């Protein structure tokens, strides 16, 4: 029986300027992908306006390339371009979205994900165990809510985490989607700029009666926000990320309002608004312990936060939101 076809969308930006252990991360990512023990897959690299020599390095590999002239700063738009390209040229059975700071050190990762997906046609979204370079767990599926957190984060990896089970969300750094999911619910919602795209995707897939699955028998290394940390520390970049994170929260909570419990909404609201200015200071007592001005997020955040709130409320999605896909509070805290 022939292998199911897989199309991989690899999103990158300045992947040679960003070095890990003396090697450009895009070269390292592609080098590991080339070792994947699976015959029927194609990779399209979507270069999001790189200003280094990434294109030169990418062309050394047997991959397709989409080069965007200017950085769009929108995960969904850029990945959707790659998905549409793969559908038009190869029409694969599965799509993988992967970031340039993910290294598929397990050569059987793709074979494993496809095997599990083929065991149940209702599995629409699946993802591997993601580890930090020190082999501690970064994500083993995500408890998705208005505020999300990664299961078993920080635990030392061992065989007890090599399980296959359903989760609310799979982390978007490395995620595989059955083609029927996109056919039924549409592509990524490009109202999300940077963050929560995979949460929205998984909620919509679940609402369409697809399963969201974590497969701990497949694994990869993810540097996690390495590209964001190394792009620079300019105020303009920090404020832009701050704005989009808050706008995403407002838009996402409005879109999926009925999916979350009361405690989840309350915590997310506190983190987004009060947490933008205040922090818990363990060195103080009483109310002073809570109401300590954050030095890293000053009161000057007020105007970007206000703009993000208004913009998020005014945004409307053409993609159908999940309708009352209830996520229990007891699974969140």
Query: Which residues in 211-228 are b (16+ Cβ under 10 Å) and which e?
Result: bbbbbbbbbbbbbbebbe
The model carries a pTM of 0.84
Distance between CA 60 and CA 38 in Å, rounded?
A: 20
Closest by CA to 178, choosing from 254, 97, 239, is: 97
6-229 CATH choice from 3.30.565.10, 1.10.490.10, 3.90.550.10, 3.40.50.2300: 3.90.550.10
Distances (CA, A) of 268 to 10, 147, 190, 250: 30, 5, 22, 10
Contact 190, 81 (CB under 8 A): no
Domain segments of the chain: what residues? 6-229, 232-331
**Of 6, 17, 86, residue with least CA distance to 51:** 17
Specify the pLDDT at position 234: 42
pLDDT band for 202, please (50, 70, 90 cuts).
very high
Q: Rounded to 10 degrees, what is the CA torsion of 175, 180, 186, 187?
A: 30
According to DSSP, residue 315 is labeled: -
> Residue 288's pLDDT band (boundaries 50, 70, 90)?
very low
pLDDT at 321: 54
Q: Which pLDDT belongs to residue 2?
A: 86
pLDDT of residue 206: 94
Q: What proportion of the chain, given as a percentage, has pLDDT over 90?
A: 58
pLDDT at residue 248, rounded to an integer: 81
Residues 6 or more apart whose CB falls under 8 angstroms from that of 44 comprise: 7, 8, 9, 10, 63, 64, 65, 66, 82, 85, 86
């Amino acid at each position: 029986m022939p292998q199911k076809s897989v199309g991989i969308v690899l999103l990158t930006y300045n992947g040679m300027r960003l070095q890990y252990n003396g090697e450009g991360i895009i070269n390292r990512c592609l080098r590991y992908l080339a070792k994947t023990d699976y015959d029927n897959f194609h990779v399209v690299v979507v270069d999001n306006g790189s200003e280094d020599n990434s294109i030169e390095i990418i062309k050394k590999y047997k991959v397709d390339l989409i080069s965007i002239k200017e950085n769009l700063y929108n995960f969904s738009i850029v990945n959707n371009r790659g998905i549409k390209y793969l559908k038009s040229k190869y029409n694969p059975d599965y799509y993988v979205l992967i970031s340039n700071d993910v290294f598929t050190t397990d050569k059987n990762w793709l074979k494993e994900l496809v095997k599990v997906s083929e065991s149940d046609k209702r599995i629409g979204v699946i993802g591997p165990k993601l580890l930090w370079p020190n082999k501690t767990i970064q994500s083993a599926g995500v408890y998705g809510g208005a505020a999300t957190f990664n299961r078993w984060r920080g635990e030392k990896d061992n065989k007890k985490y090599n399980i296959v089970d359903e989760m609310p969300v799979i982390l978007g750094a490395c995620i595989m989607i059955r083609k029927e999911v996109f056919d039924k619910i549409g592509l990524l919602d490009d109202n999300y700029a940077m963050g929560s795209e995979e949460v929205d995707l998984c909620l919509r897939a679940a609402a369409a009666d697809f399963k969201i699955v974590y497969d701990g028998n497949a694994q990869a290394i993810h540097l996690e926000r390495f590209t964001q940390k190394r792009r620079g520390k300019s105020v303009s970049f920090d404020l832009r990320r701050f704005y989009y994170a808050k706008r995403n929260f407002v838009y996402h909570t409005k879109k999926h309002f009925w999916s979350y419990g009361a405690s989840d909404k309350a915590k997310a609201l506190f983190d987004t608004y009060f947490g933008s200015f205040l922090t818990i200071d363990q060195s103080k007592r009483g109310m002073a312990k809570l109401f300590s001005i954050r030095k890293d997020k000053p009161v000057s955040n007020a105007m970007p936060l206000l703009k993000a709130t208004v913009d998020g409320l005014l945004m409307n999605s053409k993609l159908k939101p999940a309708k009352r896909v209830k996520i229990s509070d007891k699974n969140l805290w």
